[in-house]
Amino acid sequence: MPGIWVMRIGHRPQRDKRVTTHVALTARAMGASGIFVDTPDPVLEENVRSVAERFGGSFRVKTGVGWKDALKDFDGVSVQLTMYGQKLDEGLPKIPQDRDIMIIVGAEKVPFEVYERADLNISVGNQPHSEIAALAVLLDRFTAGKNLYSERDGNMSVVPNERGKTVVERPS
């Protein structure tokens, strides 16, 4: 499958560090290749890289990436998540499975230019909710859930079970 990239617009490090971290971790867990964040934030980069190193996979994170340049240079289909877009069920079939996609996720008010530049504007529901939830739903539906329990060959792995917490640590 081609790459799935997330572009986080409007990240404010002092205010959004936890939410943007969760956007990145959700993207990683649900099968994205990496995330670009418009505002430089080395702490965010380190935190996300640390999780990727421990739990495996090849997820990339880069901050300080301007969204205009990212969209202009991207050779694929751009999808903005917005509650003002077309319904997920109508937009999902328009996202090609054979090309790279960039999912645009806003933190604060997204410039109208993003709506114009995005190839698709898709909503996950029509009520205010978390961008993390919208990203998770879109990625789960787009990938048909195949990444929910995929093994990433990391040093740590969570074993699902009905009760308790089981984490397996592999020797490095």
pLDDT value of position 52: 94
Topology of the domain covering 4-169: Alpha/beta knot (3.40.1280)
pLDDT, one tens digit per residue, over 68-95 is 999 999 999 999 999 899 999 999 999 9
Tell which residue, 68, 85, 76, has the closest CA to residue 34: 76
Length, in residues, of the chain: 172
Token duo for residue 151: 């093994």
The pLDDT profile of the chain, 172 residues, written as one tens digit per residue, is 689 999 999 888 888 789 999 999 999 999 999 999 999 999 999 999 999 999 988 899 999 999 999 999 999 999 999 989 999 999 999 999 999 999 999 988 899 999 999 999 999 998 888 999 999 999 999 999 998 888 888 888 888 889 989 888 887 6
Domain boundaries, the chain: 4-169
Note the Cα 29 to chain centre separation in Å.
9
Judge whether 23 and 135 are in contact, CB under 8 Å.
Answer: yes
Mean confidence (pLDDT) of the chain:
92
